[in-house]
């Protein structure tokens, strides 16, 4: 039987076996269901091609081919779903992001089925050409050409998503995904080639059916190796935005379409359709083998060793590694980010597939897994005494100590020839923060002294970054606690006074309830207490980052008069005003009036009932200015520099310390500025500058 007849049925059988095996070996997932369904569709498509080649009549051949077209139309949506869910920890987000494309591809088989039953010739026609009519030619109809273009785009999208997942993987995760991605790349690469031929040429022979079958056969063979190797297992990969925005698949497909015409011309010149099948099969096998070699960690390391040995260069570019480490640690915002970045860098720099980073827990006696290039769950380990004093990398493979055996069990090797496992301590001064465990180095290559020194430097830098994060967190917590205690002190003090006043009234209420004067005094006391509590709440509410404003246009001079009236009587204080027609501003009148009133009251407290307060308004260079000047006690330069505009800092014994903090927030929210000049024993001047409203 000719090769062109054997290929479709052999490929269909292998694809069906893979579909069954993918659901038997492990608990089914969304990705495994998509894989099984996709392989069954590919098997059905290949079987339709094989039956078409063995058809007795042209009409039967056309029917089988049209049935194959219907099956083809359902392939993109299933495999696109697989590429979005396979080994992706955020697969739900990926599916949601691609929901419109999935819906469009999902409608494709329905439309194809409708056309196949109404206008079958619009999909595909079978013609006989030649002098004796002995040459069969397949000619896609107008809708068939559109379908070919859509199938081509679908295949490219599938490979693009698989490439993104593979590029985001490191270590053993990449090793697990490699053969699956290569197998599907060969499979869909062949389909891209066939679709491109159908688009470029208005008619083609039956030889292209053998190309698709060859691609399916070779791809399934590689997938079978992946099944024997890892059971088509999945890992959780989270492709970054940078990876999602770039892809080599589109570039490769574009180049591939460019050389398709050259390959077709070569086939016409050097061989017929039958020899073309052998050439296509050999080409696909060669491409698959080349891809395996190019993605081989062992080959890449062998090239590096050869170059290093014969061209006498350093094994590692320390400057480059240090730059990458600094960038990775600099962009990390928390402990998990630092640990993940460190594992990825060590894995790629030293060709180590399994890198795990363990950190000391809160008790200081156990280690917890913080990050790893091998997705797994691990129970905490005890922190051995030997590690507390370890300052350089240690080979734990040959150690017979109990703790070394425990560490080897917690950090298993995936490959028998993965080399020795090493522990790199994470120390900051005399403090042990954790350790990095390296296993499964490519080819089991031993670590040179240069590599161990670089590992120790990386460990020290990672430990320093972790220690800085810990100290930063502790400092932030202490500041939060200090702010809470300070606020609580003021708040509890005022609440205590209010509670004492209310308790006194409650004690006297049963005795003097019938006295009208007492009841009136009690009501006034309750009202004053409620007012004080409301004032405290308002002051605390001023700590919001961005106070809301309700703005309107009004004269500055009128605002100042209102603010002074709010301040009430100022016994013993000489208050003077110089309102120089500062014009109008567009602002929140209530908020600015409260600010100016607070400044006047601060000046009153500063002069202690025996001094002068001067309030002025001016307009200059588009700014309306309000200044409040007193000749009171003033403030020290240190207080102005370090505490003036910070909450809960006050020179008054009973002050809450949020007045000036609130004043600056309000003024800056209006696009203005606040300036303070003060000298101890001579007084203070506070000047507000606000954008003036054009007349």
User: How many other CB atoms are found less than 10 A from the CB of residue 562?
Assistant: 16
Query: Which two tokens mark 203?
Result: 């008619």
pTM for the predicted model, two decimal places = 0.48
Domain range holding 338? 318-471
* End residue of a domain, out of 471, 490, 509: 471
What's the CA gap between 692 and 695, in Å, rounded?
A: 9
Indicate whether 41 pLDDT > 70.
yes
CATH number at residue 52: 1.20.1070
Pick the more confident residue, 274 or 616: 616
Residue 291 lies in a domain: yes
Residue 461, classified by CB atoms within 10 Å of its CB into exposed (0-12), middle (13-18) or buried (19+), is middle
Buried b (16+ CB within 10 A) or exposed e, 140-176: bbebbbbbbebbbbbbbbbbbbbbbbbbbbbbbbbbb
Q: Are 682 and 631 in contact (CB under 8 A)?
A: yes
- Is pLDDT at 261 greater than 90 in this prediction? no
**Together in a domain, 259 and 322:** no
564, two tokens: 């002074």
The tokens of 445 are what?
């290559």
Beta-carbon contacts of 539 under 8 Å, excluding residues fewer than 6 positions away, are 656, 658, 659, 662
Q: What is the pLDDT of residue 52?
A: 85
Most confident of 26-35, 127-136, 238-247, 311-320: 26-35
Instruction: Tell which of 471, 499, 516 closes a domain.
Output: 471
* 609 CB burial (10 A radius; 0-12, 13-18, 19+): exposed
As a whole number of angstroms, the distance between CA 249 and CA 226 comes to: 21
For residues 87 and 75, give the distance between their C-alpha atoms in angstroms, rounded to a whole number.
20
Q: Are residues 396 and 439 in the same domain?
A: yes
Rounded to whole angstroms, how far apart are CA atoms 128 and 139? 11
C-alpha 431/C-alpha 359 separation (Å) is 12
Residue for token pair 């209310």: 502
Q: How far is CA 137 from CA 116, 133, 525, in A?
A: 19, 10, 104
- Asked, for residue 90, whether it belongs to a domain, the answer is yes
Instruction: Render 17-67 in DSSP notation, one character per residue.
Output: HHHHHHHHSS---HHHHHHHHHHHHHHHHHHHHHHHHT-SSHHHHHHHHHH
User: What is the C-alpha to C-alpha distance for residues 573 and 585, in angstroms, rounded to an integer?
Assistant: 29
Phi-psi domain of 310 (left: phi exceeds 0; alpha: psi -120 through 50; beta: other):
alpha
Residues 147 and 267 in one domain: yes
Residue 627: strand, helix, or coil: strand
Does 374 lie in the same domain as 275? no
332/290 same-domain check: no
Same domain, 123 and 250: yes
Q: 601-633 pLDDT, tens per residue?
A: 888 888 887 889 999 999 988 899 999 999 888
Strand residue runs (E) in 556-666: 573-579, 584-587, 611-620, 623-630
User: Which of 257-271, 343-357, 526-540, 642-656: highest mean pLDDT?
Assistant: 343-357
Q: What is the pLDDT of residues 71-112, one digit of tens each?
A: 999 999 999 998 888 877 778 888 888 899 899 999 999 998
Pair of tokens at residue 150: 């859509």
Co-location of 180 and 90 in the same domain:
yes
Same domain, 332 and 291: no
Question: Could you tell me if 288 and 345 lie in one domain?
Answer: no
Same domain, 565 and 652: yes
Q: Does a structural domain hold residue 111?
A: yes
Which residues 6+ apart lie within 8 Å of 58 measured at CB? 126, 128, 136
Is 117 a domain residue?
yes
Domain contains 519: no
The pLDDT of residue 312: 44
**Least trusted range by pLDDT, from 320-329, 458-467, 627-636:** 320-329
Examine the domain organization and report whether 42 and 115 are in the same domain.
yes
Residue 682 sits in a domain whose CATH number is 3.30.565.10
Residue 495 lies in a domain: no
What CATH number should be reported for the domain holding residue 337?
A: 3.30.450.40
- 291 and 370 together in one domain: no
DSSP string, 256-293: HHHHHHHHHHHHHHH--HHHHHHHHHHHHHHHHHHHHH
The reply to whether 492 falls in a domain is no
What was the pLDDT predicted at 601? 85
* Across 63-72, 409-418, 451-460, least confident range: 409-418
Last residue within a domain, chosen from 471, 487, 520: 471
Q: How many structural domains compose the chain?
A: 3
Q: For residues 238 and 90, is the Cβ–Cβ distance under 8 A?
A: yes
Q: Report d(CA 59, CA 127) in Å as an integer.
A: 10
- Is the pLDDT reported for residue 40 higher than 90? yes
In this structure, is residue 543 part of a structural domain? no
Which pLDDT value is given to residue 650? 57
């Amino acid at each position: 039987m000719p090769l062109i007849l054997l290929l479709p049925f052999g490929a269909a059988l292998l694809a069906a076996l893979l579909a069954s095996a993918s659901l038997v070996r492990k608990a089914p997932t969304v990705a495994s269901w998509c894989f099984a369904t996709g392989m069954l569709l590919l098997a059905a498509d290949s079987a339709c091609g094989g039956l078409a080649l063995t058809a007795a009549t042209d009409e039967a051949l056309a029917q089988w081919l049209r049935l194959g077209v219907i099956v083809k139309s359902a392939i993109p949506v299933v495999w696109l779903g697989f590429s979005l869910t396979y080994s992706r920890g955020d697969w739900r987000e990926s599916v949601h992001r691609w929901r419109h494309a999935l819906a469009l591809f999902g409608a494709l088989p329905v439309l194809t089925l409708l056309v196949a039953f109404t206008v079958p010739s619009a999909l595909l026609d079978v013609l006989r050409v030649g002098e004796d009519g002995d040459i069969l030619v397949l000619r896609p109809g107008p809708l068939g050409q559109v379908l070919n273009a859509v199938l081509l785009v679908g295949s490219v999208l599938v490979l693009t998503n698989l490439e993104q997942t593979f590029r985001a993987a490191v270590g053993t995760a990449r090793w697990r995904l490699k053969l699956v991605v290569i197998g599907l790349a060969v499979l869909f690469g062949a389909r891209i080639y066939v679709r491109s031929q159908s688009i470029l040429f208005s008619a083609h022979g039956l030889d292209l059916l053998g190309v698709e079958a060859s691609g399916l056969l070779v791809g399934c063979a590689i997938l079978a190796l992946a099944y024997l190797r890892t059971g088509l297992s999945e890992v959780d990969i989270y492709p970054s935005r940078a990876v999602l925005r770039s892809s080599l698949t589109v570039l490769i497909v574009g180049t591939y379409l460019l050389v398709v015409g050259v390959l077709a011309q070569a086939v016409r010149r050097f061989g017929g359709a039958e020899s073309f099948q052998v050439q296509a099969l050999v080409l696909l096998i060669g491409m698959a083998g080349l891809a395996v070699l190019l993605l081989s960690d062992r080959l890449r390391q062998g090239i590096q060793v050869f170059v290093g040995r014969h061209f006498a260069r350093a094994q590692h570019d320390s400057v480059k590694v240090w730059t990458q480490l600094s960038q990775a640690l600099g962009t990390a915002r928390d402990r998990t980010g630092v640990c993940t970045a460190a594992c990825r860098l060590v894995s790629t720099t030293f060709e180590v597939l399994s890198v795990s980073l363990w950190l000391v827990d809160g008790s200081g006696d156990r280690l917890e897994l913080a990050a790893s290039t091998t997705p797994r769950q691990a129970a905490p380990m005890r922190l051995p005494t030997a590690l507390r004093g370890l300052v350089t990398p240690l080979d734990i493979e040959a150690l017979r100590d109990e703790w070394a055996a425990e560490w080897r069990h917690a950090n298993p090797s995936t490959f028998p020839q993965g080399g020795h496992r090493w522990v790199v301590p994470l120390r900051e001064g005399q403090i042990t923060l954790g350790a990095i465990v390296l296993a499964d180095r490519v080819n089991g290559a031993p670590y040179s002294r240069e590599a161990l020194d670089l590992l120790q430097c990386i460990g020290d830098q990672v430990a320093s970054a972790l220690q800085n994060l810990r100290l930063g967190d502790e400092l932030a917590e202490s500041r939060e606690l200090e702010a809470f205690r300070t606020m609580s002190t003021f708040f509890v003090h005022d609440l205590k006074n209010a509670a004492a006043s209310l308790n006194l009234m409650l004690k006297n209420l049963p005795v003097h309830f019938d006295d009208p004067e007492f009841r009136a005094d009690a009501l006034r006391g309750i009202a004053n207490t409620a007012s004080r509590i409301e004032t405290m709440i308002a002051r605390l509410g001023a700590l919001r980052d961005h106070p809301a404003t309700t703005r309107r246009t009004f004269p500055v001079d009128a605002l100042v008069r209102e603010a002074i009236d709010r301040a009430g009587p100022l016994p013993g204080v000489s208050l003077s005003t110089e309102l120089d027609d500062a014009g109008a501003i567009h602002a929140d009148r209530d908020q600015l009036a409260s600010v100016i009133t607070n400044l006047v009251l601060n000046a009153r407290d500063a002069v202690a009932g025996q001094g002068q307060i001067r309030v002025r308004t001016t307009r200059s260079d588009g700014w309306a200015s309000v200044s409040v000047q007193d000749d009171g006690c003033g403030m020290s330069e240190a207080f102005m520099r370090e505490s003036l505009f910070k909450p809960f800092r006050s020179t008054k014994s009973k002050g809450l310390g949020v007045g000036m903090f609130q004043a600056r927030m309000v003024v800056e929210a209006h696009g203005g500025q606040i300036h303070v000049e003060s000298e101890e024993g001579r007084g203070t001047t506070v000047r507000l500058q606000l954008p003036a409203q054009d007349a």
